[in-house]
Structure 1
């Protein structure tokens, strides 16, 4: 199994990462561009996502239909999306098609057509995406939780708002592409059955004329939001809880990850056992680490009936607070096994590996090897995690609920 990641930074600022996986027959890449929704103007929320939709409607020598046919003919499984900091394109294919796939996506990034005649069609796709949240209350709740917990623009949704999408026109889309689809700040990670020298030279030939500096990310506001209840006619209540934590880049991140694993990883976790299994309070409960570049949080979710919502909130907060008192050896052993299993499974997927490499580089400017991660996990002890929890206990909870009736927030941020 490979433990070597190649790194090359081109003169224009683009970082190319590659990890050979000669036991697979596939290749995959993840391409992050510094064009996230954090750059959306305040009155044009959704511009990054709208632009991402439009750049996939033809590029270089291919019309919109020809572009899709080209990808299908190459057997490419693809994805695209927008986060706070980046626009992301992902593609997986048979290894022999990697060079062709990189050529197509290089044209997408450098020379998209952005056809004016398809702006309204793209707008409707963005509007439909926003309106679909009405049928996904759990997703709606977690978006609201991020918006309330983080100061603007850090809690933004990449989908934007109906008002923002409505006023975006072709000039704004063109300007966003020209201003943010730049090499400086871009990360291209490739994993699979590849030859490094050939890959580096090919990417260089495709992108050596690409120029443009990375924009500075907007400074966040000084204050975040408040606790919130969203009125929603339903027999269900959705509960979101957040508290500040360390980001992925922090040296103690895996102490936090181990603790939250005890809280929420699997059917033996504390939340599942105490909130769902023993008391039967809810149909879903979980918590996970959420990281931005320079700050992090833990975000928890519970879905329950209106009648049991207050007790669900109270017991979930109780379990979050009790975590600060420490974990037990058997709990740590289960979490270590689960995380290691996930890492091993990731190594079987070139797509997953390319995605994790871009994430590592963005947060750390280096890439964790599997061996390094295994050692970090093996080195976790109850003593190290409990020391971390004693110094960083879960507290100052931000709470957002969605349902018919508001709940009492006795443990919220003071």
Structure 2
């Protein structure tokens, strides 16, 4: 597999990883703009734009867009995150040009029709309601809010019912014009794809794209705190965490390894101690979310009302113990797991196209597998323990809980126990 990269005059980067043995290709356009690119009045507009992009252009209505891709056996989708938005398609190799045409059309020529907008607002309002009804999802929204209060990075991607209902065609168009510029956009493809052909498609279809000028989002300021929603759910859904590390930080890979050792699978420390030995909960895991300028390390668990007060001290003990006792054997095991995951991702055109786009957005270039593996292999147990102590002893805990959590320990008490 060979990665090729071309930067157009408008600043857009075109990336391809050719897999000539395949009969299909995955391609998409990723934009360095997500929910943290929004003003307070625009809360949820990134996600709304993602929906409205498929609702009609100057040359295709919504049915035309869906039919054009499905008539050739392909599929079209999109996703919004905190820092990025992606629009992607998977088609047979002979239909790559068609997919590129559709993607360029929906991102440049969408009409944002008022009737379609009213209909889609109702759809997203229902989506917001469904998310709030699911404590497994909603608790993470509360956790993000606790970590980054009163900031775009701490607000939900979906928006609120009030903000979503307040969007008009002009506000969506203004957000798109401000953020969807050439040097913030990547056209990435993997599979049986011709790089030069894709460059030609991008050059023709995006020649009017503004090259630059998108504002940088507000710098993240991790604060910590707590959000709890006492309800009559049988299970208490809990997430507690600390400030993590940014993608480009020195400690990024060490924190990724730390999260996997603590709660990355059935052999992890938290799973073995909390579920297998103590039977305190069905689900427990650790995670690390990295952003451009910050991150969050967290532990999520669901347990019964009677087990809540026992669960938190056990988690605290395991985190503190890990900061002193992580072994080289554990680090090597996780490094092997990460390497295997990276290699497996190369076998999926969809995963590979997204991987290349994110690397370009985050690091300004595609990262060779061997380079990533070498970075990971340099991480030692001592380095992981050092980063763990820095994170856990910083004194800023974020805590979120939904369900029977009235007696959940205060986040400040947890912070003091982590430092003692």
**TM-score, with structure 2 as normaliser:** 0.92
- Pick from 67, 70, 90: which aligns with 2:68? 70
- Structure 1 residues not aligned, in runs of 5+: none
1:412 aligns with 2:415: yes
Distance 1:169 1:22 in 2: 45
1:148 & 1:244 partners in 2: Cα distance?
11
Q: How does 1:8-407 map to 2 (within 5 A)?
A: 8-151=6-149, 152-220=151-219, 224=223, 226-390=225-389, 392-393=391-392, 395-396=394-395, 397-404=397-404, 405-407=406-408
- Distance of aligned partners of 1:402 and 1:183 in 2 relative to their CA distance in 1, 3 Å threshold: same
CA contact (8 A) 2:75 2:91 kept: yes
Bigger shift: 353-362 or 33-42? Answer: 33-42
Of Structure 1 and Structure 2, which has the larger fraction of its residues in helix? Answer: 2
Say if 1:400 and 1:107 are closer, same or farther in 2 by CA, change over 3 A: same
Residue range with higher mean Cα deviation, 311-320 or 274-283:
311-320
Q: How high is the TM-score relative to the length of structure 1? A: 0.93
**CA positional deviation for 1:395:** 4.6
Q: Contact 2:242/2:392 (CA < 8 Å) preserved in 1?
A: no
| Contact 1:323 1:394 (8 Å CA) reproduced | no
Q: Is the 8 A contact 2:147 2:222 kept in 1?
A: no
Name the CA shift for 1:46/1:92 in 2 (closer, same or farther; >3 Å).
same
Take 2:44 and 2:91, find their aligned partners in 1: how far apart are those partners? 30
Deviation digits for residues 174-205 of structure 1 (CA, Å, limit 9, x no counterpart) = 32233333223112221112222222223212
CA 23–379 in structure 1, closer or farther in 2 if over 3 Å, else same: farther
Does the CA contact (< 8 Å) of 1:323 and 1:393 recur in 2?
no
Tell me the SS of whatever aligns to 1:43: helix
The question of whether the paired residues in 2 share the 8 Å contact of 1:34 and 1:214 is answered with no
CA RMSD, 1 decimal: 2.1
> Which runs of 5 or more structure 2 residues have no equivalent in the other structure?
none
Rounded Cα–Cα distance in structure 2 between residues aligned with 1:326 and 1:246: 21
Q: Is 1:130–1:159's contact at 8 Å kept on the other side of the alignment?
A: yes
Q: 1:168 to 1:31 in 2, by over 3 A?
A: same
Distance 1:406 1:74, change over 3 A: farther
Q: Distance in 2 between matches of 1:338 and 1:394?
A: 28
The count of corresponding residues between Structure 1 and Structure 2 is: 412
